[in-house]
Structures are given as structure tokens and as C-alpha cells.
Chain A
Amino acid sequence: MRYDSLSIVGLEKNTGKTECLKYVLDRLPVQSKRIAVTSIGIDGETIDQVTRTQKPEIVLREGMYFGTSEMHYRQRRLVSELIDVSDENTSLGRVVTARALTGGKILLSGPSSASSLKRWMDEMHRSGIELVVIDGALSRMSSASPAVSQSMILATGAAYSANMNTLVSKTAHIVELVNLDLTSDENIKKLMPLDKGVWFIDKQGCLNGLDAVTSLSRDIHFEGMEDCENLYVAGALVDGFLEKVRKNKSLKQAELVVRDFTKVFVTPQQFRLFLKGGGRLHVLQRSKLLAVTVNPTSPSGYVLDSDTLCGRLSEAIGLPVYDLLKNNQQ
């Protein structure tokens, strides 16, 4: 594994995120690598609010480091050594860092925001941890942001959509966003420090600010931007903005840049139209998508054919797709 951090994200509940985490943890080389596991704390999500089922415990192996809340630490079912208690409070108490001295089960509930998660990970890396695995929040991509973790695995499945065509196209859209190309090194250097506003770089390479504060503003005007090379949106990129860019003749040749895929909130339809019109969308940071896993069973009992699903999805995204449950059974 070439990356120092891995985030596992589920597109919906019951898409098999926990299975996927389990699969990964079971196969990591604990003997030769120092590994830490945490979760982006979904505060209080010990019980699934929808299905009223208990949040699954994670099985850790001897020697793994982990971060969880005080409350869940007290409920641990393994022997572990306390290493740190943070000052940061979550609704389940402070975040506790420990090392498993035996294998066993633990409920994970780590730092509650992306920035505090990042602080925790930095602290781990400083103390010699080589890989941090993050149990990402459901339908919240923040923990998979390249600003937080270098690589990711995406879990999808019938719970996300029971219609195979929809499931494949919706998942392919996310994968396409995750895999957006990086813009030029020069642009990255120029744009990285800008964390808000809308900006453009002209043919001379000069950076200009637009009056609009965000891409959500209604009164955005692209005047005097005939020589715009790159248009950068530091915050969220939404449909309305993308449509305006697409319909603006003077921006035909311009490359659109966003911070990373977690900032893109456009529908597949708008994005398609944008690309068809010759539009280009690039990012400043990207995380490496390692694999996609599927759970063909939806909680309502509907089951898609696993092989067909894996095959079609793999074809659509050009990446290996795994049905972990099926693989395990075989």
C-alpha cells in the first residue's frame, strides 16, 4: 500500500461499508506495519436511527491502534493500552487513542469533524503510524476528501438504488468525480491558498477575483473574461453555475477548476451537458480510488444479480468491483 491513509465511504446505509472495512482490516499486515483505525464520528450513531439496529462493532487485530470516544472505549471488548485522551469533546465524550493488546470488538466513533480528524491523523503519523484507516460517514464524503485522506474505497449497492441501470449510472457519476484530473502544477500553486470566492486566471497567467462570493450567487456575470484560461470555484460547485459557464460563449475554451471532488454538487445530467459542450473540469487535489465494492442486496429484500452488477459497474468505471460477501462465501 503506497498511501498513508485510506477512507472507506458508503453511498448509502447497507451498502456494505462495514463489511468492506472488516475485509480491509482482516488483510492488512499488522505485523509489519503500524496501523491506526478511526471513524469520522457520527455523533451518537450507536443505533441506526432508521432501522433501529445496533451499529456494528469493528473487529480489531492485536497491535492495531484505534481512536474512539470515551463512551465506546468503556464498552470495548478487547484488552487495550491507553495512549492519549484528547481535549476535544464529542457528544460521546473525549476522543481516546489506544493500542489493541488482543484482538476484539470495538465501536468506533472518532473525531467529529474533518478538521479534527485531520489533526488526529497528523498526530498519529507523527508518532510513527504508517497507515490510518477511516470508517467514513455515510453519504458524507468529507472524510474521503483528499485534504484528509490519500486514498479511498467506495461501497455501493442495491440500497443506493434497486434499479441496476440507475445504480450503475449514479455510482459511475461519483467515480467520475473522484477521478477528475488534476489541473496544472502552476495552477495548483496559485489556487491552493484561496479557500473562498470565485477566481479566474487570464492568458497572461494573472489571477483575478470575481465579485461573486460563491458559485451559489444568482447575479454572477462573466464580463471582461474573454481571455479567461481557468475559472476556479473555491467553494461548492452547483448546477446553476455550471449551466451559466456552459452557456457563456466567452468561456468556451476555459478550464473549470474546483478544490476537490467533495466540492462538486452537480447532477449527472448537467455534468453530461457540460462535458458534451466541450467543458473541462479539473481539481487541485485528488484521492486515489482503490476499488468499489457492492452489496447487491437491498434492506427491503430486493436482490440484484451479483455477477451482472459487478461486470456492468466495472465496465462503466474501468475499475475492479468486488462483492465482498460473495467472495467470502466462496
Chain B
Amino acid sequence: MVQLKNVIESPCGLRFMLDELELQSGFARRWLLDSPMMTRAEEIDACYSVLRRFVEFVDQVDNTYINTLCHKLCGLKDIRTTIKNLKQGAVLDDIELFEVKHLAILAADVARLLGQHGMDGVVEIPVLDEVITILDPDGMKIATFYIYDSYCDQLRDLRVQMRQHPEQQDELLLQASELEEDVRKDLSRQLHPFATAIEQAQLALARIDVNLAKAMQMRQLGLAFPVVSQDGTSRYAAMFHPQVKAALAAQGKEFQPVDMEFGQQPTLITGANMGGKTVVLKTLTLCQWLFQFGFGIPAATAQIAVRDEIYFCIGDEQSVEKGLSSFAAEMKNIDAVIKASRENKKLLALIDEPARTTNPTEGSALVTALLRVLAGKDMSLVMTTHYDIEPGQARCLRVRGLENGTMDYRLVEVQDGEVPHEALNIAQSLGIDSEWINTARALLESSSQ
């Protein structure tokens, strides 16, 4: 089972999406990071139908109302240890009883706030009125707590004496502490049957926090609701990478959105250097994970096929830390894809320029062979390469590339995998040393003659 925390540092840019998410409570963040990747279409549909209600809610109500709700959710604390103690029948101490009461009142407040806008039941919050009654014997409706006088007449008498005879305080406190402990035992016993409901209320509040944050993020970053694809083909219109887009915007530049479609047939992307092939792969990986963790998708429209496992292989720098050469690390990553493809699972593999660090002869052979091995398996494969290879059954896409000095990042379908020869032109446009580039050009001309 893959949890969000396992993939959050993926180079595809998931971390950015989480950092941009305005969660109110640390507990909600922990809950989100612990949440498992969804692998069933119904589950994903259900998740998005809840999120859709929150987006409508955020659109309809005014900001002060949202702020009130956010402020409330700030008060959500992680009281799992307390709940565990309660479940095990332990006697809760004052701080733990306070935490339970605080949560119960918070849950009631949030339920009331959401209810005012027809949001009741979108996320089911257990009703904890009885818990509140147990911990609020005087009906004060405020989230403070102590062993109230009303729990025990004898205790009340002792406290009256304490105020009248401060000199006997220590002795009286000792007597009171025994009575207080009896009250705590009784309260814990009364609360015990509600342990599960309290736990569910805590989770419900975390879900509300997460959904509210996701809804606001969708509005802020211009994300779209995806549709679950039924035919195994994923289709994106005007897909973008939020982090790259934000970085470009900071430089006053614009991100050019890309359309993309891929299914069971392997897809090979070729194109000039700096043509955005790697960004396409990163975006596809990001979208797939966002989809299976129930976030908004960075595209105008998206139809996405559900996958059991997602592999993103990019020659990454982490391999150095593990003491592997970049080639060895890459081989091992791709090896894992091949092994997984032999198990009966629906995979998505996104592989960026495999075998790029070795010689072109063996490199081309490795890439061609990889395409052959993976073709026909129950998987979607999207791969980029600079090698001239025989595409076989693969569908070929090409970055349009340099046109009149500007880069067109859109993808076009081409009949073969022939790679463009634009490296020298692009290098020249970067202002790279002309002696170097011209010598390379001369070498190419002499070899082709």
C-alpha cells in the first residue's frame, strides 16, 4: 500500500502541491500524509464528489464565513493517544478529559457551521451530544474543564472548606484527590462506549480540513476535476505543471499548456533538447498521483485511467547518495518496472531518457529492447529518448520544437521515432562558444559526406 508520505518527495513535484495546501491543523496534515493511494474507480469517484461539494461551498459562501470555519479547524488537535487510552478502558486524567470535551464541542461547532450551508452529511460527523453532556454537567457550553463541583457533593464541601481554611489546604486537597479520582473513573467509564465515535469525529474534522484546503487550492491554482477513464486511455487538455508555471510566472514568463493522450500502447516522446519532454513526464506523473490521492488536476480537462502502481524513472541525483552510479541506479529502477509488469497489476510507467548515460550503440539497443519487453504487457508506458530507435508497436509523439527562434512545447504525432537534429541550433541560440559548435558542425558534415 502506497501512502502519500511515501511519494511526497518524488521529483515530479508533489511536495509543492502539499506546501501550497492551506491546512489548518497539524493533525489533518498527518492524516493526509498517512492516507493510502486509491486504486478503485468507485473510491476515487466518491472522493471527488465530496470535494465537488466543498468547491461549491467555497464558491458560494463569503470569506468571513470560511475564515470562521478555518479558525475553528485550527483548534483540531491530535488526541489519538487519549482515544487509545479511552478504548483500552484506562482512567483519563484531567488533561485527557479536557481534550475529549474540546474535540466534542469543536465537532458540534463545525457541524453547525457546515449545516447552515446545506453541507450537513457531506462528511459525516458523529453526534457527540452525550459526550458533551457528560463533561459539561453545568451546561456551560464552553470548552474548558475541571472536575466540577456538580459531580460530587462531598467534593463541593471540601472545596468550600479549602477557601475558608487555606491553612488546611494540603490535607483537604489530599481528601479531594481521592474523590476526584472516583469521578474520573466514573467519567471514563461513561465515555468508554463513545471512544469509536470520538475517533471518527476527529477523522471527520481532518477530512473536512483537507477537503476545504483542496477546494481552495483548486480555485487558487486553477485546477480541474478529473473524470475516471473507463477505456484505459488517459486524456489531458491544456495540462500544466503548477510548480514550473509558478517559477515561470515569477520571471514574467508564461507556461505553454500541453495536450496529451496515451493508453495501453507504449508512447515514445522525442524532441529537441529543452523541448519540455521531462516536464511532460513530470506533469503526467504528478497528475496521476494527484488523481489517486483525490486532488484537483492541473489541466483544463482530464480523463484519467486508474492504475495499481505508478513508476516514475528519472535519472535522479539521489542515486549518488546511495553510492550507486547514475547508470546503475537507473537500471535498477527500470528493472523494478519490468518485474512489476510480470505481476498481474495495472501499471503506469513514465521513464525519462533511459540509458542516457551510456554509449549510444548499447543505449539504443537497451531502449529498443525495453520497448519490446514492455509492449503487450497490461500497462501504460510513456518514455522519452534522444536515441534513434525502431519504434516497433509504439506510438510516437514529438515536441514541435524550435520555430522561428521560439520553442513550441506542444506535442504532435509522428509516424516514426526519428529524432530531431536541433541540438547544435539550440546550443547556438544559448550563446555557447562558437568554436565548439562550429567544429561539431564541421565534423557532422564530413561524416555525412
Contact = CB atoms under 8 A, between A and B. Distances in A.
Interface string A269-288: 00000000000000000000
B98 A82 contact: yes
Contacts of B170: 77
B176 interface: yes
A62 B160 CA distance: 12
A150 interface: no
Given A79-B146, A81-B146, A82-B146, 14 more contacts: A70-B95, A73-B95, A74-B93, A77-B170, A77-B173, A78-B173, A80-B146, A81-B144, A85-B77, A85-B98, A85-B102, A101-B159, A102-B162, A103-B163
A77 B77 CA distance: 27
**Dominant secondary structure at the B interface:** helix
A80 B146 CA distance: 7
A82 B173 contact: no
Given A77-B170, A103-B169, A85 B95 contact: yes
Interface of B: 26, 77, 93-95, 98-99, 102, 144-146, 159, 162-163, 166, 169-170, 173, 176
Contacts of B144: 81-83, 99
Nearest to B163: A102
A87 B162 CA distance: 33
Interface in A24-70: 62, 70
Given A82-B94, A85-B99, A96-B95, A101 B169 contact: no
Most buried by A among B102, B145, B146: B146
A104 interface: yes
Contacts of A79: 146, 159, 162, 173, 176
B77 A104 contact: no
A81 B95 contact: no
Given A62-B163, A102-B163, A81 B145 contact: yes
A78 B177 CA distance: 10
Contacts, number: 47
Interface string A82-94: 1101010000000
Interface string A233-260: 0000000000000000000000000000
A70 B98 CA distance: 12
A87 B169 CA distance: 32
Contact of A101 (B94, B146, B173): B146
Contacts of A82: 94-95, 98, 144-146
A322 to B, nearest CB: 26
Contacts of B163: 62, 102-103
Contacts of A87: 26, 77
30 contacts: A70-B95, A74-B93, A77-B169, A77-B170, A78-B169, A78-B173, A79-B146, A79-B159, A79-B162, A79-B176, A80-B146, A81-B146, A82-B94, A82-B95, A82-B144, A82-B146, A83-B144, A85-B77, A85-B99, A85-B102, A87-B26, A96-B95, A99-B144, A101-B146, A101-B159, A102-B159, A102-B169, A103-B163, A103-B166, A104-B173
Nearest to B98: A82
Most buried by A among B26, B159, B166, B170: B166
Contact of A104 (B95, B99, B146, B169): B169
A96 B77 CA distance: 14
A79 B170 CA distance: 11
B280 to A, nearest CB: 41
Most buried by B among A70, A101, A102: A102
Interface in A5-19: none
B209 to A, nearest CB: 14
A62 B162 CA distance: 11
Nearest to A70: B95
